[in-house]
Structure 1
Amino acid sequence: MENVFDAKEAQNYIDRINNLTPETQRNWGTMSVDQMLAHCNVTYEMIYEPQKHKAPGGIAKFILKSFVKSKVVGEKSYPKNSPTAPQFKINGEQDFEEEKKRLIGFIQKTQQLGREAFDGKMSHSFGKLSFQEWNNMLAKHLNHHLAQFGV
């Protein structure tokens, strides 16, 4: 698993994102490239702009922690065409350049804050996570969607 807190590996994600164009086609799934960038930004919005997204209620949070968390923060890659949670679904055309710029900024901010800032940090959906769980969640989500678009 890549280390999103390492400057070199964070730059690798940025380089991959910079290889995308508005015309890049997906290898699977239904999202367009601009929607994928916006979709990836939702994860970071939940970290840095949590007021944009409603936190799950008690029962939903229990279900997420009990049945979904291990799949999201574990090291096993997501299979192609995995279901998308409703709050991550992006509809309509998005501003490719703006979404790309935001995603790169979030990756840089995460790397610069470092793993210490994430160790024990509360997740919007899963409660307290270790820095390794944060790393796994962020790295495998980026890898999944960048591979989806062949970069």
Structure 2
Amino acid sequence: MKNIFSKEVTEGVVARIEDLTSQTQPIWGKMSVAQMLAHCCVTYEMVYTDKHPRPNAFTRFMMKTLIKNIVTSEKLYVKNGRTAKQFVITDSKNFETEKKRLIDFITKTQQLGEPEFEGKESHSFGKLTAKEWNNLFYKHVDHHLRQFGV
């Protein structure tokens, strides 16, 4: 798995995002490109904002038991997989706004670096290693950039 905390990898991801246009169509799935960018921002909103309420203890236990390894392992996501409700984006979004937000989140994460994320508490999965955070961040955005052919 590429290391999103690496400046070179971050620059590559940002370049892929810059290759998108407001008219880019998905290879699979239903989201528009602007919705996809907003969807990818949710991961970072859970780290950097209070926009999404933290799940209750039972839900966190279930997510840690059933979902954590899917999200934090190096195994790629399947196409058209299920997602949590807070990641479902159905309203229209502004492409340029969402693109800038995602690039800013990715850049901020890279600048904070691995030490910031080693042992950092996840919104849903408890404490994660920097490697688990990397896999969570990189795998998700890579999956959706491949969805849109970049």
Q: TM (normalized to structure 1)?
A: 0.98
**In structure 2, what is the equivalent of residue 65 of structure 1?**
64
Q: 1:2-13 counterparts in 2 under 5 A?
A: 2-13=2-13
Post-superposition offset of 1:48: 0.6
1:25 corresponds in structure 2 to 25
CA displacement 1:48-80 (0-9 Å, x = unmatched): 11x100111011111100000000000000000
Matches for 1:39-78 after TM superposition, within 5 Å: 39-49=39-49, 51-78=50-77
SS at match of 2:21: coil
CA distance in 1, matches of 2:4, 2:130: 10
Instruction: Within 5 Å, give how 1:87-106 maps onto structure 2.
Output: 87-106=86-105
Matched, 1:37 2:37: yes
| TM-score, scaled relative to structure 2 | 0.99
Q: Residues of 1 paired with 2:143 and 2:109: CA distance?
A: 18
Identity %: 55
In structure 1, how many angstroms separate the alpha carbons of the residues matched to 2:72 and 2:132? 5
**What displacement does 1:139 show?**
0.6
Deviation, 1:112, is 0.4
In structure 1, give the amino acid aligned to 2:26: R
| CA–CA distance in structure 1, aligned partners of residues 82 and 139 of structure 2 | 15
Q: Deviations over 1:100-139 (max 9, x none)?
A: 0000001110000000000000000001000000000001
2:67 is paired with a residue whose SS is: helix
Q: Work out the CA distance in 1 between the residues paired with 2:38 and 2:145.
A: 13
Aligned to 2:115: 116
For structure 1, which runs of at least 5 residues remain unmatched after alignment?
Answer: none
